[in-house]
A and B are shown apart, each in its own frame.
Chain A
Amino acid sequence: DTGVSQNPRHKITKRGQNVTFRCDPISEHNRLYWYRQTLGQGPEFLTYFQNEAQLEKSRLLSDRFSAERPKGSFSTLEIQRTEQGDSAMYLCASSLEYAGGTSFGPGTRLTVL
């Protein structure tokens, strides 16, 4: 059971720097999601892909955030000019279209100093 994997697991950066996170979904899953979770809150939806197409973006996804899923496999989430408010856990998830549950990765914890 390979599950959803995310790298890195932890990232500490200085304000103003760019960061990029990677997500490898379950191989047969055509849908991939990014969520953000801050302390004491439930995860909040950011964006999702069906295969390589980005079909929905939350208003939480400011223009400093960009996500890609080339070839419909792994995905990257880049945050440019990081701010302290970007400090959070970034969760990736994948699923089959119209299937049951969504599988989540362990998350990448970002700390912006």
Chain B
Amino acid sequence: DAKTTQPTSMDCAEGRAANLPCNHSTISGNEYVYWYRQIHSQGPQYIIHGLKNNETNEMASLIITEDRKSSTLILPHATLRDTAVYYCIVMGQTGANNLFFGTGTRLTVIP
């Protein structure tokens, strides 16, 4: 599975949009981009995933560039409860879908 690069940390003001970038320049055609987050002392939580098209659900939006080499997770109105480590993971849909987490981006939402 392709590796990803994320900033170590980011801050965001409460109520503003949080935009978390991820580079995955070696992604192959059948690999999906997944986002998870982990709030302190809890297990990781699935947020969203996509292949080519932009995706939106009740938690977030995922914007994938046309060349698929990078993506951005958008939390439209960040709250204090969104403070967490966010992991961008690239994974093929076939075969074992064990996840390679890396170190992620620590997002701090500031009041």
List residues of chain A with CB under 8 Å of any chain B CB. Answer: 4, 31, 33, 35, 40-45, 48, 55-56, 58, 91, 93, 95, 98, 100-107
Contacts and interface: CB of A to CB of B under 8 A. Distances in A.
Minimum-distance CB pairs A-B, first 5: A101-B46, A42-B101, A104-B43, A45-B98, A104-B44
Per DSSP, chain B at the interface is: loop
A92 to B, nearest CB: 8
A105 B45 CA distance: 9
A91 B36 CA distance: 14
Interface of B: 34, 36, 42-47, 49, 85, 87, 93-94, 96-104
A31 B36 CA distance: 18
Nearest to B101: A42
A44 B45 contact: no
Q: Which of A55, A95, A100 neighbours the largest number of chain B CB atoms within 10 Å of its CB?
A: A100
Given A41-B103, A42-B101, A55-B96, A102 B46 contact: yes
Q: Which of A48, A95, A102 neighbours the largest number of chain B CB atoms within 10 Å of its CB?
A: A102
Nearest to B103: A42
B42 A106 contact: yes
Contacts of A44: 101
Nearest to B100: A45
Nearest to B93: A98
Contact of A42 (B42, B47, B93, B104): B104
B87 A42 contact: yes
A43 B85 CA distance: 12
Given A45-B98, A56-B96, 15 more contacts: A31-B97, A35-B99, A40-B103, A41-B103, A43-B44, A48-B96, A55-B96, A93-B43, A95-B97, A100-B46, A101-B47, A102-B97, A102-B99, A104-B44, A106-B42
Contacts of A103: 46
